[in-house]
Amino acid sequence: MKTYQYLRSGILEAYLLGSTTEKEKEEVEKLLSTDADVLAELNELEASMEEYFLRNAVPPPPDIREKIELRISQTEVQKWEEPAHTYTEPQSTESEKREPSYVHVEVDNTHIRVHKYWRTAFIAIFILSKVFLILGLYYYFKAASQADEIDRLKAQTQQTSPLPRPTTP
């Protein structure tokens, strides 16, 4: 029963993806050497993950693939050309330690691709923002003109003398 719970805990998946701690990694490796069920489950998981990744893989564009293959083949040739008997420990500077060894990829296409529904949503939002801007300006100027009209009417009523009130005897 304990093996079943261990298999269903997700530790093997984490081990395959390399996201386990050192303690968990040692525990899994120890269990793999002693328990055949765990080893069989790990092999099955590895095969299904590999199948999933291969099925959902997106191939890179041909020109980028060629650049990567060329770079890989050049590094492989350099590894094999080094003489084995005169190996010395390479002196690495701090800039080499900090600089990651990524493949530099140049892209000719600078356009941003957006899903067609997002494009429609962006256009609708843009049009609505313009409509609200126009309505806001309209009501602002309308309120300002009404405030001026109120001030004018107040000034006009103050200029006219009030009618005398009748007094009561």
What is the tens place of the pLDDT at every residue in 6-35? 778 888 888 988 888 999 999 888 888 888
The answer on 6 and 74 residing in a single domain is: yes
Final residue of a domain: which of 81, 108, 125?
Answer: 81
* Tokens linked to 29: 């490796």
Lowest mean pLDDT among 67-71, 121-125, 126-130, 148-152: 67-71
**Structural domain boundaries, residue 128:** 117-158
Residue 104 lies in a domain: no
The answer on 7 and 77 residing in a single domain is: yes
Final residue of a domain: which of 57, 81, 105?
Answer: 81
Over residues 63-116, the pLDDT tens digits come to 887 888 888 876 665 555 555 555 455 555 555 555 566 677 677 777 767 677
> Is 15 exposed, middle or buried (CB count within 10 Å of its CB: 0-12, 13-18, 19+)?
buried
Residue 89 lies in a domain: no
Q: What is the pTM of this model?
A: 0.37
The answer on 72 and 21 residing in a single domain is: yes
Residue 56 lies in a domain: yes
Over residues 149-164, the pLDDT tens digits come to 999 999 998 888 565 6
Residue 106 lies in a domain: no
Residue 92 lies in a domain: no
Residue 130 lies in a domain: yes
Which residues, in sequence order, are CB contacts of 42 under 8 Å at separation 6+?
12, 15, 16, 32
Q: Which residue has the tokens 């067609």?
A: 116
**What burial letters (b/e) apply to 73-94, b meaning 16+ CB within 10 Å?**
eeeeeeeeeeeeeeeeeeeeee
**Domain total in the chain:** 2
Residue 54 lies in a domain: yes
Sign of CA dihedral 21, 22, 23, 25: positive
The answer on 140 and 69 residing in a single domain is: no
Final residue of a domain: which of 81, 97, 125?
Answer: 81
Over residues 30-75, the pLDDT tens digits come to 888 888 888 888 899 999 999 998 888 887 777 887 888 888 876 6
Give 148's pLDDT tier (boundaries 50, 70, 90): very high
The answer on 130 and 68 residing in a single domain is: no
Helix 22-34 vs helix 36-55: crossing angle, to nearest 10? 120
The answer on 77 and 122 residing in a single domain is: no
Q: CA 147, CA 133: separation in Å to the nearest integer?
A: 21
